[in-house]
């Protein structure tokens, strides 16, 4: 049997905190038990506060892809023109789901080391004022980039289109301004910056989005894919459509509580600092970041180019086997282009940049790539140092 | 805040064992980590052995209703005639899903305190030899009854129809003879007699079923509802379609391991004994079982008629509040007809019949119903007593 | 391998709550880590509040016998006359320790199904006004009796003697009035009514006791047996004499927190109710309580006479093997006289009396002893029933 | 409330593995429960195998100092001449305990950055052939040094003296050759290289040592300090002298099992590698090791000189506060001389040297000490690199 990893520094799911792990070791109670009903209601309320929104979010009982598929199935009506914004593998992939439900799919696609230009979205609306729904990924996990969703949202709002946002790996790592942007259907995952296990989708649904879903005869009901079924399920007096995933709720309760105790701003700063340190470390090693510039880098993970002549699979395997450190490779079309270091949730502390940079650096050295491990780690640490009091 | 219950003796989810709870307190590792890939593959293989089948079962990452809905969506083609067998709320409900996908839905419905007569199925096939798919619930949880699936399966087999079985609350409590019956698509839940948390669907799919799914152009793919997407996902070298629910896999690994260590026959005997004791206890109290006769009672739970003049909700609340014991009420149309005591997994030990009978009995006494608590518990205990060595 | 028990209803250690078990699954941190130092200090302060005393209690890092031995070693000076009060095996045993350290040991011994008469203590002081230290057990666990420590304490106080109290199994189950009685050195165990694991001794030390210890040249220092070494160790700025038992502190922190959230009075009432129900159940079975009358029964556990012709070991083994219920036998000289059912901490809820009475009753029936299981359980339940709202 | 540390890299107790933490989350069962009795017996047997000895070790229920004090109290008779070997704070301290029980205490003391010369021991025996007992510390934790116990043991053996060894922080990190050396009374701690929680003492007692204890009228019995009381307590049919620390046994069972699964040699190699890497890193930073040469360094931890002008307390606090890394300072007389990095048990993996060196290095830089973080980490990593396959 392969040994457990010493460090999981991947694009997620991430290493949970001791407190989160402890929360999972709670007996399963009946879904109708008053204790569980209260816990579910409290968890939803705390999640609402953590999201900074005015109405109850919807918890769906499957990994974040459930929420993303359900969003397409529910919000997109058969006569809709949908604009999909593809700046990476996930964004591109969302178009396939959207296409399943809409009349016409438009797409703006940019190279996967860049982000969407708001001006291009603006221009598309001029050309096609009939766009009803726009879909965008906030933190494009496979690329390590962060789309300017705020600017895009303002354009959608002005043009009367509803906006679906995949904020799975951004929520908790950077501000997601649900109602301020505004966005209409935002999908968050507990297994990234919140540091929970994968197994739930957390949805913000705007009033406009609810109205459109209610009016959509094809929106799933009495189905795993239904968002509506769960709209009021957090209320103790409303029955669950089916048995919720008990232990996932325990973990969500715990991670949201930890997030609120720390404070969102503090969590964002923490992700910012470790991201900056990791980027400094990667550059210090002599490697190149994947995104075209640092301004568009996601604070949740750092993607860097695979050095010439090396195999991503070999690097990852060596790093895992010799140093116990698990990192992520490229995904989909980017498999042979880049490697990724996650710094989300409990590993979003600057000191972890020393671990990832040292392990990746030494691995590359071991495999014959010329990198400067010392410069890498020193640069990472220098970036996070704070003056002594 | 309401206190946690002392005993969860409901229709499920059930109280996990200490070992299962402990298994949940494991760090989340990346889905591509070699440790996790091995664990996933091992878990699938152990589940295969536990099911006693020859090919790998499919783990779907959502509560058992996901598997049930996916079964309908995948196996039922748009030109199919489907026969739905409804001996309770769950069986009846499956018809609604089946109807969504088929050309014509036939149904045999019996009173919800009875079970399906194989002869009626046989007769239906005579009348309608074009039936392509039959759906039946093994342990009808809302009624506490057990359908004679073996006999039904043989009839389907003879008539060339594929059989979908909801074995969610029967697997682990009584023999489910997947390949011997034979059945074609059987959905099992980890949160009943296996004593795990809810959050997964465990599917047996026969070769015939795979062939039909492969040939069905409407069978979901690239979707949460897809069974096919996960067909080979347990193999370490095959990528997961999306992130599996890590901690649910930890728990499944543990519960299947416990089940195999105990041995299926021993587990079935244990459920049989506690079920017999509970029925004896309920009758000893002076109450009536809900099923028309004991021969059709499910070993997973005991349903009994709500005494005249009492409210199920009041009984459950009083029992939970005063004695810390959570039981289940009627479900759907049976809400005002019965109450249910679960004895599945870790609570499927005879001594728990003393708890449920004493708590229910005293609750009824407290609420003014004439029952004999002493006779009830004495009858339950007498039923389980074994002669001293 | 023997299966784990389903119910631990013994004289202790007892079955912890899910919350306590969860608290144990916390990483071990360095003893000088600021997080741990704060936790230790907070835990001591909460324990002080739970004890209702004005100065910090002392946590010693070994099971309660450590505290008891240390109390004798520290408080008893070589010229002291000590009066030991023996109403049971534990009380009698304390005399052996006391004798090791004092000049002369006096003893009042009563049959082990009775308790100490305060008048006898009063009389002894008249005869021997030179008594310096008195030792008494509050809840005499091997007998299931509760000594009238309040009355005894008042006599000691009037006569200028210091009082050592073994409150290991009473604290949390019934009021221990440390400063009001007053007592001078009281040893509490976390593994009884608090529902924690065994591994610590919790000591209340009065100002008079500290003065006597400080003046005692033989009081251990730089030793596992030293109380003084730990006097100020709870303060973050004071070094621990040696490494504290980290996880025991986690559990203590949790159990004290649970005790304070419930409220001491509520906890005492809970123990009272289950004790009364268990006694009613035992008598309902047709068995006899061990203590000479109910007024002297301990609320922490119920001792009853072993029926003629039966073997305590056989009863316990059968009950554990067939019903999964672990109870306690007699201890020391009482081994062949009685059996004991514990109802402490998380199992001090009335419903557990149904479990113990049903399991013990049926076991005796199985072994050929005529008891009435139904009457037993019905009597237990009737005793705890509360009128419906 | 102070946040939990990210890394505990101290002289112990150390960070347990996820498996060990999980083992703690097990319900407490009665000490006489057959399940617990078997577990206790199995744990003792596995510990015997892990120690590589021929008779059952003794588990004492208090942190390792209990075993050390008990060893002195039990093995040293009032007429004994004892030779104490002091190469550090712990060795020196043991003399105080030894002195409490013997007729005459001899001592060889060397500077605390050196180790005991076997020749000096040999010479002492020539001078004082009446030495009955010798005491030595194997891994002198406060100094980070490793005494040549094998050579010393051979001399003692030749001269007919019994040897007490403090192997608390060496067992599991390096070979302890109990019977081969031979040693007579060796105390091991579960909270160092085994990675368990503190709370037990694990004792190897030779036949000669048992004979001497049996013959010693002052050896404690019926006492927390008694070794004899526990000699046979691991046997299911023998009663425990008092309640064992249940959860500590769970953890011991788990850590010994992990140690055996890994294999002692593999564990020793792992400690060797991380120790070498950490020393390389410390030197790479430009700092000096505390021990006079690397050959005498303990594989369990690395001690290095506090740079001129810096305060150990400030370094530790800054490192903990800014980087989340807890390290140890000097102990006792060495408080202002050195700092210590532990690499024991689950943190005895080479990659942790990158964490400690980066954190310590950057901390010193932050505090104005000139060190080269890059050279330090690069040297550490280079030391542990293994050629790619």
pLDDT tens per residue, range A151-195:
999 999 999 999 999 999 999 999 999 999 999 999 999 999 999
Of A154-158, B12-16, C202-206, D80-84, least confident by mean pLDDT is B12-16
- Rounded distance between C-alpha atoms, residue B313 and residue B291, angstroms: 21
C-beta of residue A12 within 8 angstroms of C-beta of residue A64: no
**pLDDT tens digits along B244-269:** 999 999 999 999 999 999 999 999 99
Of A384-388, C324-328, D380-384, least confident by mean pLDDT is A384-388
Contact D13 C243 (CB under 8 A): yes
Core vs surface per residue C295-331: b (16+ CB within 10 A) or e: ebbbbbbbbbebbeeeebeebbbbbbbbbbbbbbbbb
In chain B, pLDDT over 90 holds for what percent of residues? 97
C-beta of residue C233 within 8 angstroms of C-beta of residue D280: no
| Chain B residues within an 8 Å CB radius of D18 | 25-27
Distance from CA of C229 to the nearest CA of D (A): 13
C-beta of residue B198 within 8 angstroms of C-beta of residue A246: yes
Mean pLDDT of chain A: 97
Chains in touch with C (3+ beta-carbon pairs under 8 Å) read A, B, D
The residue of chain A with its CA nearest to that of C28 is A18
The residue of chain D with its CA nearest to that of C324 is D33
Nearest to C359 among B351, B375, B378 (CB): B351
Residue B302 contacts A, CB cutoff 8 Å: no
Rounded average pLDDT over C89-109: 98
Contact D63 C61 (CB under 8 A): yes
**pLDDT tens digits along D17-38:** 999 999 999 999 999 999 999 9
| Chain A residues within an 8 Å CB radius of B8 | 27-30, 33
- Rounded distance between C-alpha atoms, residue A167 and residue A163, angstroms: 12
pLDDT at C52: 98
C-beta of residue B112 within 8 angstroms of C-beta of residue B333: yes
Q: What is the DSSP letter of A74?
A: H
| Chain A residues within an 8 Å CB radius of C18 | 25-27
Interface test with A, best of D1, D346, D354, D372 (most A CBs within 10 A): D354
pLDDT at A235: 96
pLDDT of A387 > 80? The answer is: no
**pLDDT tens digits along B337-368:** 999 999 999 999 999 999 999 999 999 999 99
pLDDT of A389 > 80? The answer is: no
User: Sorting pLDDT into bands at 50, 70 and 90, what band is C47?
Assistant: very high
Cβ-based neighbours of B345, under 8 Å, separated by 6 or more: B14, B15, B16, B17, B172, B192, B193, B194, B195, B196, B255
Which of D7, D281, D354, D365 has the alpha carbon at shortest distance from A357?
A: D354
Rounded average pLDDT over C296-318: 97
The ipTM is: 0.97
Contact B32 A328 (CB under 8 A): yes
Rounded average pLDDT over C3-31: 97
Rounded average pLDDT over B202-220: 98
Phi, psi (deg, nearest 5) at residue B163: -120, 125
Contact C4 D15 (CB under 8 A): no
Rounded average pLDDT over C203-212: 98
Q: Is A49 helix (H, G, I), strand (E, B) or coil?
A: helix
User: What is the length of chain B?
Assistant: 389
Mean pLDDT of chain B: 97
* DSSP of D156-205: HHHTT-EEEEE-TTTBTTB---TTTTT-SEEEE-TTSTT---S--EEEEE
Residue B1 contacts A, CB cutoff 8 Å: yes
pLDDT of B375 > 70? The answer is: yes
Chains in touch with B (3+ beta-carbon pairs under 8 Å) read A, C, D
User: Sorting pLDDT into bands at 50, 70 and 90, what band is B386?
Assistant: low
Q: Count CB pairs under 8 A between chains A and B.
A: 187
C-beta of residue B231 within 8 angstroms of C-beta of residue B22: no
**pLDDT tens digits along A54-83:** 999 999 999 999 999 999 999 999 999 999
Contact B354 C377 (CB under 8 A): yes
Place of tokens 């007892």: C14
**pLDDT tens digits along A270-300:** 999 999 999 999 999 999 999 999 999 999 9
**pLDDT tens digits along D233-268:** 999 999 999 999 999 999 999 999 999 999 999 999
pLDDT at C129: 98
| Chain D residues within an 8 Å CB radius of A365 | 381-382, 385
The residue of chain B with its CA nearest to that of D18 is B26
pLDDT of C189 > 60? The answer is: yes
Q: CB burial class (10 A; 0-12, 13-18, 19+) of residue C138?
A: buried
303-362 in D: which are within 8 Å (CB) of A?
A: 314, 318, 322-325, 349-352, 354-355, 358-359, 361-362
pLDDT of B381 > 70? The answer is: yes
pLDDT of D348 > 90? The answer is: yes
Contact A29 B326 (CB under 8 A): yes
pLDDT of C338 > 70? The answer is: yes
Contact C25 A22 (CB under 8 A): yes
Evaluated on CA atoms B136, B138, B139, B143, the torsion sign reads positive
Distance from CA of A335 to the nearest CA of D (A): 22
Contact B323 C350 (CB under 8 A): yes
pLDDT at A388: 36
| Chain C residues within an 8 Å CB radius of B4 | 17-18
- Rounded distance between C-alpha atoms, residue C47 and residue C39, angstroms: 12
* DSSP of B364-388: HHHTT----HHHHHHHHHHHH----
Distance from CA of B3 to the nearest CA of D (A): 19
Rounded average pLDDT over A333-348: 96
| Chain D residues within an 8 Å CB radius of C14 | 28
- E strands, chain C, are 7-8, 58-60, 81-86, 104-109, 131-137, 139-140, 145-146, 162-166, 185-188, 201-205, 301-305, 325-326, 328-329, 338-342
Q: Is D139 helix (H, G, I), strand (E, B) or coil?
A: strand
Mean pLDDT of chain D: 97
pLDDT at D209: 98
pLDDT at C384: 85
Contact D375 A373 (CB under 8 A): no
C-beta of residue D199 within 8 angstroms of C-beta of residue C245: yes
pLDDT of B32 > 70? The answer is: yes
pLDDT at B1: 80
pLDDT at D388: 36
For chain D, domains (ranges, CATH) are: 7-13+264-384 (3.90.1150.10), 18-261 (3.40.640.10)
Distance from CA of D65 to the nearest CA of A (A): 29
Contact B25 D26 (CB under 8 A): no
Rounded average pLDDT over B125-153: 98
User: Sorting pLDDT into bands at 50, 70 and 90, what band is A386?
Assistant: low
Q: What is the DSSP letter of B114?
A: S
| Chain A residues within an 8 Å CB radius of B318 | none
Contact C23 A21 (CB under 8 A): no
Nearest to B366 among C4, C373, C385 (CB): C385
User: Sorting pLDDT into bands at 50, 70 and 90, what band is B384?
Assistant: confident
Beta bridge partners of C303: C340
Contact A377 D373 (CB under 8 A): yes
Contact A8 B15 (CB under 8 A): no
The residue of chain D with its CA nearest to that of B29 is D18
- Between helix D351-366 and helix A351-366 the angle, nearest 10°, is 130
Distance from CA of A305 to the nearest CA of B (A): 20
Interface test with A, best of D5, D21, D358 (most A CBs within 10 A): D358
Nearest to D63 among C13, C97, C242 (CB): C242
Interface test with D, best of C3, C21, C245, C330 (most D CBs within 10 A): C245
Distance from CA of C266 to the nearest CA of B (A): 13
Distance from CA of B180 to the nearest CA of C (A): 32
The residue of chain D with its CA nearest to that of B28 is D18
Contact C366 B359 (CB under 8 A): no
Phi-psi region of C78 (alpha: psi -120 to 50; beta: other; left: phi over 0): alpha
Chains in touch with A (3+ beta-carbon pairs under 8 Å) read B, C, D
271-290 in D: which are within 8 Å (CB) of C?
A: none
Contact B351 C386 (CB under 8 A): no
Chains in touch with D (3+ beta-carbon pairs under 8 Å) read A, B, C
Residue B25 contacts D, CB cutoff 8 Å: yes
pLDDT at D1: 80
Contact A69 B223 (CB under 8 A): yes
pLDDT at B388: 36
pLDDT at B43: 98
Q: CB burial class (10 A; 0-12, 13-18, 19+) of residue D265?
A: exposed
76-135 in D: which are within 8 Å (CB) of B?
A: none
pLDDT of C387 > 70? The answer is: no
Nearest to D8 among C29, C243, C247 (CB): C29
């Amino acid at each position: 049997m392969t040994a457990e990893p010493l460090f999981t520094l991947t694009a997620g799911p991430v290493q949970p905190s001791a407190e989160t792990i402890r929360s999972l070791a709670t007996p399963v109670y009946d879904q109708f038990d008053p204790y569980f009903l209260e816990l579910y209601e409290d968890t939803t309320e705390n999640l609402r506060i953590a999201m900074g929104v005015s109405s109850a979010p919807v918890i769906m009982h499957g990994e974040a892809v459930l929420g993303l598929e359900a969003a397409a199935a529910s919000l997109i009506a058969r006569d809709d023109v949908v604009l999909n914004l593809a700046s990476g593998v996930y964004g591109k992939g969302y178009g396939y789901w959207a296409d399943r439900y809409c009349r016409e799919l438009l797409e703006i696609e940019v190279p996967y080391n860049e982000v969407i230009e708001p001006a291009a979205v603006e221009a598309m609306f001029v050309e096609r004022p009939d766009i009803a729904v726009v879909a965008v990924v906030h933190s494009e996990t496979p690329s390590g980039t962060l789309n300017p969703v705020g600017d895009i949202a303002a354009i959608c709002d002005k043009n009367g289109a509803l906006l679906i946002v995949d904020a799975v790996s951004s929520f908790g790592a950077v501000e997601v301004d649900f109602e301020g942007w505004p966005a209409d259907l935002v999908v968050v995952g507990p297994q990234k910056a919140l540091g929970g296990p994968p197994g739930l989708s957390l949805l913000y649904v705007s009033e406009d989005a609810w109205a459109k879903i209610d009016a959509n005869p094809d929106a799933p009901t009495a189905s795993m894919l239904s968002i509506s079924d769960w709209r009021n399920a957090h209320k103790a007096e409303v029955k669950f459509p089916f048995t919720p995933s008990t232990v996932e709720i325990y973990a969500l309760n715990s991670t949201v509580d930890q997030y609120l105790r720390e404070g969102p701003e503090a969590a964002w700063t923490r992700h910012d600092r470790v991201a900056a340190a990791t980027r400094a470390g990667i550059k210090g090693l002599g490697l190149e970041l994947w995104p075209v510039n640092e301004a568009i880098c996601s604070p949740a993970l750092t993607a860097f180019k695979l050095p010439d002549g090396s195999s991503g699979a070999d690097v990852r395997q060596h790093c895992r086997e010799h140093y116990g450190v698990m990192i992520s490779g490229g995904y989909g079309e980017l498999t042979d282009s880049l490697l990724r270091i996650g710094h989300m949730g409990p590993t979003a502390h600057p000191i972890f940049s020393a671990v990832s940079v040292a392990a990746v650096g030494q691995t590359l050295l071991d495999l014959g790539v010329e990198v400067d491990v010392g410069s890498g780690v020193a640069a990472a640490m220098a970036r996070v140092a704070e003056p002594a009091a």
